[in-house]
Amino acid sequence: MDKDNQNKANQIEKCLSLIELVEYLRSPEGCKWDIEQTHQSLRNNLLEETYELLDAIEENSSDKIKEELGDILMQVLYHSDIARDNSNFDFFELCDYVRLKLISRHPHVFKDTKSKITSSEVVDNWEDIKKDERLKNNKDYSLVSDIPDTLPSLSYATSVIKKSKKAKIPVKYEEIGFNIDANSFDSDEKIGKILFSLTNLFVSKNIDPELILRNYTKSIKDKILIMEKLSKTKSISELSEIQKEKLWKSINC
């Protein structure tokens, strides 16, 4: 066996060892906690691990990205093993499903007649391919049905706006030309309209409101952390209003 094939064999062995370890942990000889887990019980774990990965990416830390990707892979393996126990699918079927999906979504790469297209054209093609896939499987196609309702609200609104504008759906998008006064906040509908209109403005300017808000909020958080260090032995709540104001203005970050 040549060196390259030996390396591949070793890599495959590592993957199989990990899969077997998860299977063992969820077997009668394994761990009680692991055995008790279900798709539903692991939902929050997956959400937390995803946000921890996003933090690691923000920090641009290779070690942390590796750690958090490992935690997410662990979640995938657990969900796959739960599905295997329920005779739905296993990890290997999942891998094959993803492989076929990637080939299907990249006809410009894998078809006999390759074509050079832009990134935006690739995204357009994906929508057409998804539509064809659903129709072939006798499923209704919807432009927005794949947008998760559990997305953070700004991301949720941004996705709906982008999809509907792309298809030129006549959703009424308010311009930020209306007056905002005390009466603007007397119902959830009015407040939602303001937030949705602001999000629409950001999207039209190619601004990611989720990222901008998160970065600004982080700057406020960092400033508070510095305040806590500068206040020394006292907690911030023990400082006078004048002391707090003075500290706040002294911090530039």
Please indicate, yes or no, if residue 147 is contained in any of the structural domains: no
Check whether 60 has a pLDDT greater than 90.
yes
- pLDDT, residue 170, reads 62
Q: What is the average per-residue pLDDT within 44-50?
A: 92
Please indicate, yes or no, if residue 146 is contained in any of the structural domains: no
| Average pLDDT in the chain | 85
CATH number at residue 40: 1.10.287.1080
Please indicate, yes or no, if residue 9 is contained in any of the structural domains: yes
Query: Do 98 and 116 sit in the same domain of this protein?
Result: no
For residue 116, the enclosing domain spans: 112-141
Backbone φ and ψ of 199, nearest 5° = -60, -40
Q: What pLDDT, in 10s, does the model give residues 168-179?
A: 776 666 655 556
Please indicate, yes or no, if residue 72 is contained in any of the structural domains: yes
Please indicate, yes or no, if residue 148 is contained in any of the structural domains: no
d(CA 240, CA 235): 11
Most confident of 76-90, 121-135, 239-253: 76-90
Are the C-beta atoms of residues 80 and 91 closer than 8 Å to each other?
A: yes
- pLDDT, residue 179, reads 67
Angle, vertex CA 76, rays to CA 25 and CA 130, nearest 5? 155
Say which range, 37-46, 196-205, 231-240, has the weakest mean pLDDT.
231-240
Q: What pLDDT, in 10s, does the model give residues 64-77?
A: 999 999 999 999 99
Single-letter amino acid, residue 137:
N
Query: Do 91 and 14 sit in the same domain of this protein?
Result: yes
- pLDDT, residue 76, reads 97
Q: What is the average per-residue pLDDT within 73-96?
A: 96
Number of separate domains in the chain: 4
- pLDDT, residue 62, reads 96
Using CA atoms, how far residue 130 sits from 107, 126, 144, in Å, is 12, 6, 12
Q: What is the average per-residue pLDDT within 180-200?
A: 83
Query: Do 70 and 33 sit in the same domain of this protein?
Result: yes
- pLDDT, residue 128, reads 77
d(CA 123, CA 45): 30
Q: Binning pLDDT at 50, 70 and 90, where does residue 113 land?
A: low
Query: Do 92 and 37 sit in the same domain of this protein?
Result: yes
Radius of gyration of the chain, Cα coordinates, nearest whole angstrom: 25
Please indicate, yes or no, if residue 118 is contained in any of the structural domains: yes
- pLDDT, residue 1, reads 63
Q: What is the average per-residue pLDDT within 147-162?
A: 86
User: Which pTM was predicted?
Assistant: 0.67
